[in-house]
Amino acid sequence: MTQRKPFETLARYPLLDALRDRRSRRFGVGMHMDSGPMAYRSPEPGLPLTEDEEAILAFAACGITGHALGDLNYEPGRGGTIMAGMAGRTVASGDAIQTVSVVVTNEKATYLLKRPRDFDGKELPELRELARKGDLTELYRRSRVEIKKGRAQPPVRPLYNLAVNDWTLYDPASTYFLPVNELTFLYINGVMEILDENNGVFIVDERASFRPAGVSKFARSKGGHLRDDPKDERILTIQQLESLVTEFVTIEQGMVIQNLALMTQAMGLGGFPHWAAHPFGWLEALGCRMEKMPASRYLGMGPVLSTLARALGRDAAVPYGLGIEKDGKPLLAPYCPPYYPSMEAAVRAVVNFKFGEDGVFRGATRFSLWRDPASIEKTAKPPSTAAQGATIAYCDYVHRRYGRFPAYAPPLRTILGFQAGHVDLSFYERFYRPEALSETQRQHQELWHS
């Protein structure tokens, strides 16, 4: 940090106070609300966040902190090898995959913050040391990749946004943090776990009369290992499975938003979470690689409804985001076509990420905290041929039938964003009782900008 005094003050801020005093505070210096009972124009000019302030918030959102301990049983059939990473962030993540990436955008530039698995493993010890020393600005510089000059933002009009926040959104002095969910790695990794011999889950397609979702030859009734007898209670639909994946990832995104809210309170800034769930608005604004699909296929309509939609002229093309790239190089690439030639290749890439020469359970164990990584390498076995085969068959079925993977949602998804900025004290003093602000907000300017 270039400013040690405010950082040292921040480091002593009580977590209990942050939890107790956290609020959404939308009105910042330089803003105005042009009508209503709290109509007001700030007497102060807008004040953008400094790089140090942004760096602290970026660290709270998704900063690299250390090692994932992975204190699990790695014997075959005991589930430990569902882990897919050994680096820790400020937010928890299923299987240590870090499915959520974070975009930071301000008037100067738009950045994608790299996740632990986006770095070369050799870089992680140095990055963890930067975090330990509190050199968060250098960590921020090392973690961000510029994907666009200037601010990225979708339109403010409905339904890209909601009217409740249109007066404050994308204020020029603010910094906007946008979590982006990437669903495919967690999806494939989880499917490979439940389609092994120990779990033996059988998956059916509820939009195809509950027929097997590509896994019929692996059913026990046909000599395979998946339990297709309803009495075993091991049958899931595609929708049930994908709902579990999206909810799991959304919870991780919620932790990103909560950390940002707690840190804005601790620093004395203002900020608020905001609906950012338009299906493609933010992804277009970020310059994502986009595709289009007829609405009938996007919604998984059957042949009768699809034909009717086309006949009525209601089968419009729906855009959806595939990946974030820069100069043709993928920065956030889902495990599905077009970034892999097939779903089989995507599944094998997940297996290789974990069990390849430098995989999580092979060469990368040297970056763990285990005293005896060799014992983990010896014990942790890759998924069986049958489990991999069933996973490939299922994933290929979904992609062929629905034209994308996952079936119900695009591989990239946004739900909430968080806008941070400097609080206009005069607005809250005029319209609120004193307890609307804590001393942290009242002292921020003197501590951080004097």
Start-to-end CA span in the chain (Å): 16
Mean pLDDT for the stretch of residues 2-18: 88
Domain that holds residue 176: 4-449
Residue 34 burial class via C-beta count within 10 angstroms: exposed 0-12, middle 13-18, buried 19 and up:
exposed
Write the CA distances from 274 to 25, 163, 190, integer angstroms: 12, 11, 30
Residue 3 binned pLDDT confidence (cut-offs 50, 70, 90): low
| Stronger pLDDT, 301 or 284, i.e. the higher one | 284
pLDDT, residue 163, reads 92
Asked whether the predicted pLDDT for residue 107 surpasses 80, the reply is: yes
Residue 306 binned pLDDT confidence (cut-offs 50, 70, 90): confident
Asked whether the predicted pLDDT for residue 4 surpasses 80, the reply is: no
**Of 64, 103, 102, which Cα lies nearest the Cα of 85?**
64
Lowest mean pLDDT among 44-58, 226-240, 302-316, 392-406: 302-316
Angstrom distance (rounded) from CA 160 to CA 163? 10
Measured from the Cβ of residue 305, the count of other Cβ atoms closer than 10 Å reads 13
Residue 76 binned pLDDT confidence (cut-offs 50, 70, 90): very high
Percent of the chain scoring above 70 in pLDDT: 99
Mean pLDDT, rounded, of the chain:
95
| Stronger pLDDT, 415 or 307, i.e. the higher one | 415
pLDDT tens for each residue of 129-155: 999 999 999 999 999 999 999 999 999
Asked whether the predicted pLDDT for residue 308 surpasses 50, the reply is: yes
Q: Report helix, strand or coil for 149.
A: strand
Give the CATH number, domain containing residue 406: 3.40.109.10
Angstrom distance (rounded) from CA 435 to CA 86? 43
Residue 305 binned pLDDT confidence (cut-offs 50, 70, 90): confident
pLDDT, residue 368, reads 87
Mean pLDDT for the stretch of residues 370-379: 93
Measured from the Cβ of residue 358, the count of other Cβ atoms closer than 10 Å reads 13
Asked whether the predicted pLDDT for residue 28 surpasses 60, the reply is: yes
Rg (CA), the chain: 24
The total number of structural domains that make up the chain: 1
Contacts of 263 (CB under 8 A, 6+ apart): 18, 56, 57, 60
pLDDT, residue 247, reads 96
Q: Report helix, strand or coil for 388.
A: helix
Asked whether the predicted pLDDT for residue 390 surpasses 80, the reply is: yes
Rounded to 10 degrees, the C-alpha dihedral 105/111/115/116 comes to: -130
pLDDT, residue 1, reads 46
Residue showing tokens 């955008």: 105
Mean pLDDT for the stretch of residues 25-31: 98
Asked whether the predicted pLDDT for residue 194 surpasses 70, the reply is: yes
